[in-house]
Amino acid sequence: MVELFTPQLDTIFHALGDATRRHMLSDLASGERTVSQLAEPFSISLAAASKHIKALENAGLIRREVRGRTHFCRLEPGPLASAHEWLSHYQRFWTGRLDALEELLRREDTLKSPSPNRDDTKGDDR
Amino acid sequence: MVELFTPQLDTIFHALGDATRRHMLSDLASGERTVSQLAEPFSISLAAASKHIKALENAGLIRREVRGRTHFCRLEPGPLASAHEWLSHYQRFWTGRLDALEELLRREDTLKSPSPNRDDTKGDDR
DNA sequence: CAGATATTCAACCGCATGGTTGAATTATTC
DNA sequence: GAATAATTCAACCATGCGGTTGAATATCTG
């Protein structure tokens, strides 16, 4: 179907909406990192970093493996793929390319006939 | 550089982190909508919808054109493309494929250290 | 002009967020 | 066993968010 599991997208996009967390992800792109390593570039407390990491973990964006007293984090690609896929749905808007489905929708729109979904024909045109 | 203009990504991803706003965007994908039309599917006040719309506008995700007393909103693809592009940096993690940028980074990496893959254990004792 | 329509503004509420600090937990090391 | 290291927990604080309601601002219409 067109729509993904939206509550997950909520937490994924929310996690991505913070520069610190995006930076952590980009750090994790080059390999496994411990909590302290992830926290190091920022001038925030370790507790604050821990919360960020938990947000990422909660969104499924990273996975944590505890070895001894150290927590190692690794990137988990699935949710990133989901977000990417959701955005791909709008790709036609910046590429200008239409696929079959979009062409259909667009045809209806230019014909100005009542759409299948919402027939708000009460509005005047200009 | 790998990173886009991060403050913009903050607001873009934040705007996308709400199901109501994502729904509005998907509505706008089939064409121009007024504020009331955008608000209609949800059981929230018009003022609340207005705030959502302002968040989308603020992130540059939509553009507003006022004709008479009615505000028409249209999708603005640029920021969506930015978000999509940012996520694309991580595409290799779920496709297993390397893009050009990654190949470059990786080439540098393999030149520096013998470890070919992403395990860069730097001087870690034990 | 009066009234209806479309939308925003302003004040408020409850709750989540991102930050802090200090104590607690768990694991390693001497 | 005691000290140190890695991380979380708990309490707290300021700020922002998503929601509400009621008034305000334009604009269209009769």
Rounded to the nearest integer, the mean pLDDT of chain A is 81
The per-residue pLDDT for range B83-109, each reduced to its tens digit, is: 999 999 898 888 876 566 556 655 555
Average pLDDT, integer, range B60-89: 94
Whether residue A118 has pLDDT greater than 50: no
pLDDT at B61: 96
Contacts of A31 (CB under 8 A, 6+ apart): B118, B119, B120
CA distance B55 to B39: 14
Distances (CA, A) of A75 to A34, B18, B19, B38, B91: 12, 23, 25, 36, 12
Q: Are B9 and A22 in contact (CB under 8 A)?
A: yes
The per-residue pLDDT for range A49-70, each reduced to its tens digit, is: 999 999 999 999 999 999 999 9
Whether residues A10 and B30 touch (CB distance < 8 A) is answered with no
SS3 call for B70: strand
Chain D positions within 7 A of any protein Cβ atom are 5-11, 17-23, 26-29
Whether residue B21 has pLDDT greater than 80: yes
pLDDT at B100: 60
The per-residue pLDDT for range B108-122, each reduced to its tens digit, is: 555 554 444 444 444
- Scanning residues 64 through 123 of protein chain A, those with a beta carbon under 7 Å from any atom of strand C turn out to be 67-69, 122-123
Domains of chain B: 6-77 (1.10.10.10), 80-112 (no CATH)
Rounded to the nearest integer, the mean pLDDT of chain B is 82
Q: Are B102 and B92 in contact (CB under 8 A)?
A: yes
Q: Are B74 and B65 in contact (CB under 8 A)?
A: yes
- What would the two tokens of residue B122 be? 């730097």
pLDDT at A106: 56
Contacts of B100 (CB under 8 A, 6+ apart): none
CA distance B88 to A81: 9
DSSP A8-67: HHHHHHHHHT-HHHHHHHHHHTTS-EEHHHHHTTSSS-HHHHHHHHHHHHHTTSEEEEEE
B74 touches chain A (CB under 8 A): no
The per-residue pLDDT for range A20-34, each reduced to its tens digit, is: 999 999 999 999 999
